[in-house]
């Protein structure tokens, strides 16, 4: 049952849709889909190949190792999807794209229609990047076999920020990187275990002091572990 009027639409163009079965059918993402907050559709690029054997790649012009994903099936898939909706972003997963951050996740969580294109092999024909996508994002300075795992991670980061996804919406506001700070340490019962004790301030019931302690711990952790964030 959809209790919210604006359902986000996410389309994922991939050669391996089965990779998403686990991440998208469990936990928070599953809840968001069931609540009608987001609709996630997987599109097999091979279904749009016009070749007899459903080929989606070819040798690179100029020679070299590896294969390159062809522009035609990608373009045909996007053309069909664009007949149904207008995209806010068509995102290509690329190791040399813009680094994905919590700030970007916040931005994208407010969009209506987003498409993710997952590359494979040596990547996609450059004309795809020049003419068909609106943005390129990277999960980090490393290379994955394909863009599927990166897309799954980004979708998770985006969808959990949609109002109504988390049972306690304030939880997302205290996540790491929301204020350019790393989250403070957290504890739960028992208060003492093998002589390892929870900081007394967290047991004091004094919320102002607890909030102050948490902020101080966030500053210390950020300075020690991620000084590049520069949180205040």
Give the phi and the psi of residue 212 in degrees, each rounded to 5. Answer: -65, -45
pLDDT in tens, 139-198: 999 999 999 999 999 999 999 999 999 865 555 555 555 678 898 999 999 999 999 999
In this chain, the answer to whether the domains covering 8-159 and 174-225 adopt an identical fold is no
Calculate mean pLDDT across residues 4-30. Answer: 90
CATH, domain 8-159, list 3.40.50.300, 3.40.190.10, 3.40.1280.10, 3.10.105.10? 3.40.1280.10
Q: Give me the percent of the chain exceeding a pLDDT of 90.
A: 82
- H or E stretch covering 155: helix 148-159
Calculate mean pLDDT across residues 202-206. Answer: 97
Asked: is 174-225 a CATH 1.10.1270.20 domain? The reply is yes
* Burial readout 166-192 (b: 16 or more C-beta within 10 A, e: otherwise): beeeeebeebbbbbbbbbbeeeeeeee
Over 90: is that where the pLDDT of 1 sits?
no
* pLDDT for the residue 219: 93
* pLDDT for the residue 232: 54
What is the domain partition of the chain in residue ranges? 8-159, 174-225
* pLDDT for the residue 9: 98
pLDDT in tens, 51-94: 889 999 999 999 999 999 999 999 999 999 999 999 999 999 99
């Amino acid at each position: 049952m959809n209790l919210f009027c604006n359902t986000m639409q996410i389309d994922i163009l991939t050669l391996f849709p089965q990779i998403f079965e686990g991440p998208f059918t469990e936990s928070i993402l599953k809840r968001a889909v069931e609540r009608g907050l987001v609709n996630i559709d997987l599109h097999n690029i091979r279904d749009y190949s016009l070749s007899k054997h459903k080929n989606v790649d070819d040798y690179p012009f100029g020679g070299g190792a590896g294969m390159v994903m062809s522009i035609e099936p990608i373009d045909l898939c996007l053309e069909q999807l664009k007949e149904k909706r207008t995209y806010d972003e068509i995102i290509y997963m690329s190791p040399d794209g813009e680094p994905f951050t919590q700030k970007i996740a916040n931005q994208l969580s407010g969009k209506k229609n987003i498409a993710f294109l997952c590359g494979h092999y040596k990547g996609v024909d450059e004309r795809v990047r020049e003419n068909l996508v609106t943005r390129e994002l990277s999960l980090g300075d490393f290379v994955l076999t394909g863009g599927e795992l990166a897309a799954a991670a980004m979708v998770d980061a985006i969808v959990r920020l949609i109002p109504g996804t988390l049972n306690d919406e304030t939880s997302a506001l205290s996540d790491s990187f929301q204020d350019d700070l790393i989250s403070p340490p957290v504890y739960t019962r028992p208060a003492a275990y093998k002589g390892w004790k929870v900081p007394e301030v967290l047991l004091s019931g004094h919320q102002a002091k607890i909030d102050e302690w948490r902020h101080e711990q966030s500053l210390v952790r950020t300075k020690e572990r991620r000084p590049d964030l520069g949180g205040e």
